Amino acid sequence: MIIRVSAMSDVIIKNGHLIDPANNIDQITDIHISNGKIAAIGPANTLKTSANTQLIDASELTVIPGIVDCCARLREPGMEHKATIKSETIAATRAGITTLCCPPDTDPVIDEPAVVEFINQKTAIAGHSHVVVLGALTTGLNGERLSEMFALQQSGCVGLSNCRNPVENALILKRAFAYAATFDIRVFIEPDEHWLSAGGCAHEGKIATRLGLKGIPVSAETIAIARALELIAETGVSAHFGRLSSAQGIEMIARAKNEHLPVTADVSAHLLHLTEQDISSFNSACHVIPPLRTQRDKEALQYAVANNTIDAICSDHQPHDVDAKQAPFASTEAGISSLETLLPLCLRLCQQTSLELKDVISKITHAPAEILGIEAGTLSVGATADICIFDKNEDWQLTSETTSSHGKNTPFLGWNFQGKVKHTLVKGKVLFSD
Amino acid sequence: MVNKATKPTDALIGRDAWNIQLDKNGNLKHFLTTEGLGTEVLTKILDTAESFADINEKSVKKVPLLRGKTIVNLFFEASTRTRTTFELAAKRLSADVLNINISTSATSKGETLLDTLQNIQAMHCDMFVVRHTDSGASHYIANNVAPNISVINAGDGSHAHPTQAMLDMFTIRRNKGADFGNLRVAIVGDILHSRVARSQIHALNTLNTGDVRVIAPKTLLPVDIENMGVNVFHDLKTGIQDADVVIMLRLQKERMQGALLPSEQEYFQLYGLTEERLQAARSDAIVMHPGPINRGVEIDSNVADGPRSVILDQVSFGIAVRMAVMTMTLGREPEHEVGTNDHQSERHE
C-alpha cells in the first residue's frame, strides 16, 4: 500500500526482505530513500521520517536492487514501428528493470556521439528506466574501419560491440581490440562465425534435420570464441561474451577464466528454459539467434550460471511487430520480446534448480552493472535508489494483454509464473505499482 | 502451493504441428507431412489410391466426387510435373481448378503471405495445394486458413513432400506387395536438401519397412539423420547391397557452388547408378526417381530406361494418389459417394 504525499517526497520501504548480493544483505528490514538516493538501511523507527514521507509496506515482499539488463533492443532509432525507447522503458519498469543496455545495431548505427545523445534525450523524455548504450566497434558495424572509440567513450558509451556483424579480417579485429584496450573500453562480443551461421535459423541437430531447416552449428559459436580469445590474450582488452548458447562455448569461457583472461559472459534467460524441441511445431515465437540448442546445452548453461562461468543473465529483448513473425519459420525475424520474462524466468530457475535466490539476483543486478562499469545494481547507502520489489509467491499468467512491451512475440504466452513485480523505483520515484 | 512455473498445454500455445493434419474424429483434414500419421491413415491413402488407379486406366477418366469443389493450386515455387498431376487429379474428380503461380518476388513487394491467402480465401475455395520454398510454409498456411479449407503440401523447402512419398509407397506396394517388413529400401543422393527423402523416410518407417538406408557423401547428409530411423552409408555398392528398392534423388546443379561436391563427374563416378552397380541390389530390385532426372549425373540412361526402372509408373500413380488425398481431406472418399448425388459435405460445415 502506498500513501502518496508528494512527488518529491522521501520514501520508506518497510518490512521488506532485502536481498542485496553486492553488500551481502539478506534480511527483513527497511530502506529510507531521500533525494533519489538510498539514505539509510535499518529499522524504520530509527530512520528519520517527515510529513512528506511516502510509505511502501513491503511485508511478505522481496526488495532487490533495480534489475540491470545488459542486452535489450529498444528499436529506436530506426525501427519505431516495432517499439520505442518510451514503450520499452515503460515495459522495463513494469518488469523491475531499471537499467537497460542497448547494443549499437540501431539505424543509424551507434557509431558517433550524436546517436548516443539522441538516445539519451529520448530516454530522459520517457522518464522511466535508465538506458546505457554500447558503441559500434567498427563504423557502420561493417567490420572494416575502427569507430571513433574515444569519442564514443566520452559521449557515454559503456562499451563497444560489433553485435553479430562479422569482422572478417582478423587483423582489423586485433587492432580494434588493441585500440579499445588503450582507453580501457570493454568490448562486447556476440560470438558468431557468420559463414557457418548465415541463413541458419535453428540449432543444427535432429530437430532442424526433421523440419528441413538450415542449421546453425555449435562451431559457429566456438570458432568465434576461440578467435576472440586469442586476440584478447594478445591485446589485453577486457571482453564480455554475450548470449552464449552451447556447452562447448561455456567450456572455452571457463578455461579462459581459469587462465585469468579478462573475460566475462552472459546468457539470455530464455536459453535457460527452452530447447530445440520447442521449435518442433515450426513455432516462430521460438525463432531466436543464437538458436535454442539441446537439452544438454541448456543444462550446461544452467550449470554455468550456478558455478559463475556465466556472470550475468540478460533478457536479449527483441520486440517485433506482428508481421515479423507472420510467415513460415525461416522467413520470420529472429528474436523474443523478453523484458517482462527476465525476472520470472530467473525465479523459475531457482524453483527448478538448487540455485539460491540471492545468487540469481546477483546475476541480474550487481554482476551486469559491474560488467557495464556503471554504478547500479546495489542498495548501498548513497547509491541511486533504483529498486525492484516483488512478491515471490504470487501466481500469474503471461498473456499478450498483460504484456506492456510493444513486442508481443514471446513463446511464453500462456505460461504460469510464480513471482510478480509489485513496485519499481527509479531514482527514488515510484514509477510502477501493481 | 505448487512452487513452480508451469508450461501450458498444447491447446494454449497453438495446435500441435502434426496433429493439425487430423480433425477431431481422426480423419485426414490437411496433408502436410507423412510424419505423425499412423499406419492406418497411410494405408488408407494407398487403398483409396488403388481404387482410383483403375479409373485412370479407363477411357472415361472422370468421377463426380468433387463436383462443385474449388481447388486452388498455389505455387510459390516453379513446378511443372507436380502441378500438372495435381491439376489432372482435381479435374478427374470433377473439381474446378485454379492455378496461381506467385513468384517470391511478388510477395516481396510488400504483400505478406497472409494477405495473399486471405485474398484467395475470399474467392471461396475448398482446398489449397501449396508449394513453397520455405520449410514449414504449408503448416503456416494450414494454421492460418479458414476452418473449412483443406491444405495439401505439394512441397515445402527441404521439409516435406508427402504426396510424392505416398506415390512412391504406392509404387513399392504395387511391385513388392503390401508387407514392407522384409524390404530393404535405399535412398541415394542429396538427402540434405530433399523434402522427398524426409517424407519417404517417415512413410517407410510408419509402414514398418525392414531396412531403410540413406547413401550419400557426408556433405549431403543432414546431421543426426540416424535419428529419423535410417541406416547411413557412404559407399553406393555397400549401401544398395541386396536392396529391394533403390530410390535415386535428383542432384541440383547449384550444389557444386556451395562446396558440397567437387564436380558432377566425381559425383557420378561415386554415386551415379549404372547397370554394373545395380548388380549389387537384388535381382528383382526396382529403381525409382522422383524426377526430373539428370541423366549421367545421378543415374545412367540405361538404368533410367531399363527394365527395372518404374520411374514412369511413379508419374501415373501420382495422379491416383493425389486423387485419394484430395477426396480424403475433403471427406468425399469413393465408398461414401458411390451411387449418391449428395453434394453436401458431411464433415465441413
Is A211 touching B (CB cutoff 8 A)? yes
User: Cβ separation of A328 and B223 shorter than 8 Å?
Assistant: no
Please tell me the distance from the alpha carbon of residue B85 to that of residue B320, in angstroms, as a whole number.
Answer: 9
Element (H, E) at A97: strand A97-102
Residue type, B186: A
User: Cβ separation of A282 and B16 shorter than 8 Å?
Assistant: no
Question: Which of A413-422, B319-328, B340-349 has the weakest average pLDDT?
Answer: B340-349
pLDDT at B344 over 70: no
Q: Which residue has the higher pLDDT, B137 or B80?
A: B137
Please tell me the distance from the alpha carbon of residue A232 to that of residue A239, in angstroms, as a whole number.
Answer: 7
**Is B187:B216 a contact under the CB 8 Å cutoff?**
no
- The mean pLDDT of A140-166, rounded to a whole number, is 97
- The mean pLDDT of B146-174, rounded to a whole number, is 96
Q: Which residue has the higher pLDDT, B15 or B294?
A: B294
**Is B187:B249 a contact under the CB 8 Å cutoff?**
yes
Copy the grid coordinates of residue B15.
Answer: 495446435
**Residue A60: DSSP 8-state:** T
User: Pick from A204, A328, A348: which is nearest to B223 by CB?
Assistant: A204
- The mean pLDDT of A45-72, rounded to a whole number, is 87
User: Cβ separation of A351 and B223 shorter than 8 Å?
Assistant: no
pLDDT at B20 over 60: yes
Return all residues near A401 (Cβ < 8 A) that are at least 6 apart: none
Mean pLDDT score of chain A: 95
User: Cβ separation of B223 and A215 shorter than 8 Å?
Assistant: yes
pLDDT at A421 over 50: yes
Give the pLDDT score at B18: 52
Residue type, A46: T
**Is B196:B249 a contact under the CB 8 Å cutoff?**
yes
CB atoms within 10 A of CB B275: 11
Give the pLDDT score at B342: 41
CA distance A215 to chain B (A): 9
Question: Which of A320-329, B103-112, B164-173, B319-328 has the weakest average pLDDT?
Answer: B103-112
Task: Dump pLDDT digits (tens) for B220-240.
Answer: 999 999 999 999 999 999 999
pLDDT at A19 over 70: yes
Q: Which neighbouring-strand residues pair with A56? A: A2, A13
**pLDDT band of B11, cuts 50, 70, 90:** very low
- The mean pLDDT of A8-19, rounded to a whole number, is 90
**pLDDT band of B209, cuts 50, 70, 90:** very high
Give the pLDDT score at B110: 65
Q: A-chain residues within 8 Å CB-CB of B157?
A: 212-213, 328, 330
Show the beta-strand stretches assigned E in chain B. Answer: 70-75, 96-101, 127-132, 150-156, 184-188, 211-215, 231-233, 245-248, 286-288
Please tell me the distance from the alpha carbon of residue B301 to that of residue B298, in angstroms, as a whole number.
Answer: 10
User: Pick from A215, A326, A416: which is nearest to B6 by CB?
Assistant: A416
Q: Phi/psi at A369 (nearest 5 deg)? A: -60, -40
Is A393 touching B (CB cutoff 8 A)? yes
Go through B154-164 and write b for each residue having 16 or more CB atoms within 10 A of its CB, e for each that does not. Answer: bbbbbbbbbbb
**Is A193:B118 a contact under the CB 8 Å cutoff?**
no
Residue from B147, B137, B128 nearest B71 by CA: B128
User: Cβ separation of B4 and A210 shorter than 8 Å?
Assistant: no
Residue from A322, A288, A315 nearest A406 by CA: A322
User: Cβ separation of B134 and A204 shorter than 8 Å?
Assistant: no
Q: Phi/psi at A250 (nearest 5 deg)? A: -60, -45
With CA atoms as reference, the chain A residue closest to B144 would be A326
**Is B154:B79 a contact under the CB 8 Å cutoff?**
yes
Characterize the bridge pairing of strands A97-102 and A429-433: unpaired
State the DSSP string of A114-155: HHHHHHHHHHHHHTSSEEEEEEESBGGG-SSSB--HHHHHHT
Task: For chain B, state the CA radius of gyration.
Answer: 21
**pLDDT band of B107, cuts 50, 70, 90:** low
Residue from A9, A6, A46, A48 nearest A29 by CA: A46
Mean pLDDT score of chain B: 88
pLDDT at B58 over 90: no
Alpha helical stretches, state H, A155-246? 170-182, 194-197, 206-211, 219-235
* Catalytic residue list of A: 316
Quick one: A51 exposed, middle or buried, by C-beta within 10 A (0-12, 13-18, 19+)? exposed
User: Cβ separation of B135 and A328 shorter than 8 Å?
Assistant: yes
Q: Which residue has the cell 530509527?
A: A46
- The mean pLDDT of A259-267, rounded to a whole number, is 97
**Is A162:A141 a contact under the CB 8 Å cutoff?**
yes
Copy the grid coordinates of residue B285.
Answer: 530390385
Give the pLDDT score at B309: 97
**pLDDT band of B332, cuts 50, 70, 90:** confident
**Residue A223: DSSP 8-state:** H
**Is A74:A337 a contact under the CB 8 Å cutoff?**
no
Give the pLDDT score at B336: 47
Q: B-chain residues within 8 Å CB-CB of A416?
A: 5-6, 8
- The mean pLDDT of B53-72, rounded to a whole number, is 88
pLDDT at B8 over 60: no
pLDDT at A50 over 90: no
With CA atoms as reference, the chain B residue closest to A207 would be B224
Terminal CA-to-CA distance of chain B, rounded, Å?
Answer: 44
Q: What is the dihedral of CA B64, B70, B71, B72, to 10 degrees?
A: 160
Task: For chain A, state the CA radius of gyration.
Answer: 21
Copy the grid coordinates of residue B265.
Answer: 563427374
Global pTM reads 0.91
Residue from A16, A13, A61, A64 nearest A394 by CA: A61
Distance (Å) of CA B330 to CA B87, B126, B152, B333: 16, 8, 11, 8
Give the pLDDT score at A5: 44
Give the pLDDT score at B335: 63
Distance (Å) of CA A430 to CA A53, A342, B13, B310: 13, 20, 35, 76
CB atoms within 10 A of CB B59: 4
Task: Dump pLDDT digits (tens) for B65-101.
Answer: 999 999 999 999 888 889 999 999 999 999 999 998 8
Q: Which residue has the cell 474428380?
A: B93
**Is B278:B319 a contact under the CB 8 Å cutoff?**
no
Residue from A139, A186, A201, A193 nearest A166 by CA: A193
Element (H, E) at A106: none
Q: A-chain residues within 8 Å CB-CB of B13?
A: 283, 411, 413-414
CA distance A327 to chain B (A): 7
Residue type, A140: G
pLDDT at A166 over 50: yes
**Residue A231: DSSP 8-state:** H
Return all residues near B297 (Cβ < 8 A) that are at least 6 apart: B251, B264, B267, B268, B272
In three-state secondary structure terms, A306 is helix
**Is A68:A99 a contact under the CB 8 Å cutoff?**
yes
Which of B1, B7, B13 to substitute to test the interface with A, most A CBs within 10 Å? B13
Give the pLDDT score at A1: 47
